[in-house]
Chain A
Amino acid sequence: MSLDLGKKGLDEAVKAGASYADVRIGEILDENLTVKNGVPEEVNLLQTKGFGIRVMIKGSWGFAASVDLTRKEVVEISQKAVAIARASNKTKKKPVMFRKATGKKDSYFTPMKKDPFKISLEEKMETLVNAERTVSKQSPHIKVSQAFFRAMQEKKLFMNTEGAQIHQQINWNGGGILAIAIKNGEVQRRSYPSSFRGNFATSGYESFESLQLIEHAEQVGKEAGQLLKAEKCPSTTTDLIITGDQLALQIHESCGHPTELDRALGMEADYAGTSFLTPDKLNKLQYGSKLVNITADATVQGGLGTFGYDDEGTTAKKVNLVKNGIFVGYQSSRETAALLELKESSGGMRADSPLAIPLIRMTNINLSAGDWKAEEIVEDTQNGVLMQTNRSWSIDDRRLNFQFGTEIGWIIKEGSKEKMIRNPTYTGITPEFWGSCNAISKDDWKMWGTPNCGKGVPGQVMYVGHGCGTARYQKVRVGLIK
């Protein structure tokens, strides 16, 4: 990464009148492999390069970016960013203030043993072909069988006029398998380790290997076939147990998005709406039961939202969002932290490429482990439903009223799984739902990676993480409303 180009960009911005400027230069490698019904469907390697410059003029922001990494272009783009900031100034109500960043001269590299981009395509494809083939053999009703691999490497340099000079290399990868079984118009699906192409972690190729797709393929295929014959999810109000692969999305939608401070302040509404967690509720609202502790933690090992510094130079950190059930914190930026008179940014400003402006994005939004073993939660439940692996989601634009569907469920009777059910769904109101949480596990707590979180206009797709195990909620409405 060229320090010289970065310095040139900052110098030009200051010369043109900027009181603050930052520049991000980056290069992204993104490999996607898919095998579908015995055929390699996607063998794709994309490379993105470029730089973006953000400047402040008289308390207004301007941003410009380009793929052309030359000195001439850096000069032009700096001047363009300054011109844009001057234009923004025309509608300014109050000058933008922002908190100090902690970034300095430093570097961060995702710890990894095996570089996924140095593993041969043949080796990766062989794993996928074998996994997909095993899935397809498990039932004559499996009409679609797929296996996925994805690896991303992001190299980036951040510099600003406060002296920060931060090199980072973030690596993540993972994959999954999918079976879709169809019979008499009924369509059922099973995925492993999670839906929507699998699970992902900041790590080397060793994390993909640890998924053991081939070893899990038999069960995935069989369950897809079994679901065709399973009873429908009953319509009732009962205890609900959710495993980590579904709970991750529950956390994402009902805590992750509403604690993004730009949404709470009404500055951002695209993709996921605003938020019911408005600033007047901070440190007051009973968000959940006393068992519920949720953090934004960019430091946890393997999390898809784990890094050294965010994209405005704030050091990765862990902040409380919900503590002992009370809503206590936001995910913020340097600017929004100042607006709410918070001491500092939560370190959540992230952009999906050097060409995009950073937005407040989730890092790893984690539900802290409780005291239970996952098995004990089932054994302790007299009547209930256990739901696993997300299939669909819907939530209103203030993040209050939600409905989720999962791929598979089980009726729980007197402490054990009685029978499998198909098309399980549940619905709730965020604070009531989390308020009814009465058991959280610790033994199956792990990081789940969501590589497809959308936000902003132009839309950005960010990779974020969620740490959780299994949890139980009381008196939840499940099944279709009669």
Chain B
Amino acid sequence: MAAALPVTRKSELDLSSKMELRRMITNRLLEIAERTVKLTLQHKADQAQAAAFLINSSLTRYANSQIHQNIATKTGADKLFADTIR
């Protein structure tokens, strides 16, 4: 799981800080993916593929002219696919 990322309010960030944050997140996700592939290969898999992602999403739904659902979700995952041919 993508975890322990730095948390800062968006409104407080200038452009260079935003770019720096994006770089840190990308590096962290890359690190997770690389570690996953390495671990899998250590377990005698012939091929391994990993994908890591972090998504911030927000959604507001109206029903009967008022806000019915108002939500924010931070989802992240590293998916692992391994093929073993022995």
Contact = CB atoms under 8 A, between A and B. Distances in A.
B15 interface: no
Contacts of A66: 73-74
A193 B39 CA distance: 39
Contacts of A304: none
A181 to B, nearest CB: 31
A63 B67 contact: no
Contacts of A77: 74
Contact of A61 (B2, B3, B70, B76): B70
From A50, A68, A80, residue with most partner B Cβ within 10 Å: A68
B21 to A, nearest CB: 15
Given A60-B67, A84-B72, A357-B69, A70 B4 contact: yes
Contacts of A50: 75
B61 interface: yes
A52 B3 CA distance: 16
Given A65-B74, A457-B59, A458-B57, A267 B2 contact: no
Nearest to A49: B1
A371 B17 CA distance: 72
A80 B7 CA distance: 12
Contacts of A52: 73
B56 to A, nearest CB: 9
Contacts of A419: none
Contact of A68 (B66, B68, B74, B79): B74
Q: What's the interface size class on B, roughly? A: 20 to 34
B67 A67 contact: no
A12 interface: no
B4 A63 contact: no
A48 B69 CA distance: 23
A91 B64 CA distance: 11
B13 interface: no
A73 B7 contact: yes
Contacts of A70: 3-4
Interface string B1-15: 111110100000000
B4 A68 contact: yes
Interface residues of A, number: 39
Contacts of A93: 64-66
A87 interface: yes
Contacts of A266: 63-64
Contact of B66 (A63, A67, A91): A91
Interface in A238-275: 265-268
Nearest to B68: A267
Contact of A65 (B2, B61, B63, B71): B71
A355 B73 contact: yes
A80 B72 CA distance: 8
Given A63-B69, A357-B71, A68 B3 contact: yes
A453 B67 CA distance: 25
B24 interface: no
Nearest to A85: B70
Interface in B29-71: 57, 59-71
Contacts of B65: 91, 93
Nearest to B1: A67
Given A91-B65, A268-B63, A458-B57, A67 B77 contact: yes
Contacts of A267: 63-64, 68
B62 A91 contact: yes
A183 interface: no
Contact of B61 (A64, A80, A85, A457): A457
A67 B75 contact: yes
Contacts of A61: 69-70
Given A66-B74, A68-B1, 13 more contacts: A52-B73, A62-B70, A64-B73, A65-B71, A68-B3, A69-B3, A70-B3, A80-B72, A87-B67, A91-B65, A93-B66, A357-B71, A457-B59
22 contacts: A46-B79, A48-B77, A49-B1, A52-B73, A60-B67, A63-B72, A67-B76, A67-B77, A68-B74, A70-B3, A70-B4, A72-B7, A84-B71, A85-B70, A88-B67, A88-B70, A91-B66, A266-B63, A266-B64, A267-B63, A268-B68, A458-B73
Interface of B: 1-5, 7, 57, 59-77, 79
5 tightest Cβ-Cβ pairs between the two chains A and B: A66-B74, A88-B67, A63-B71, A267-B63, A64-B72
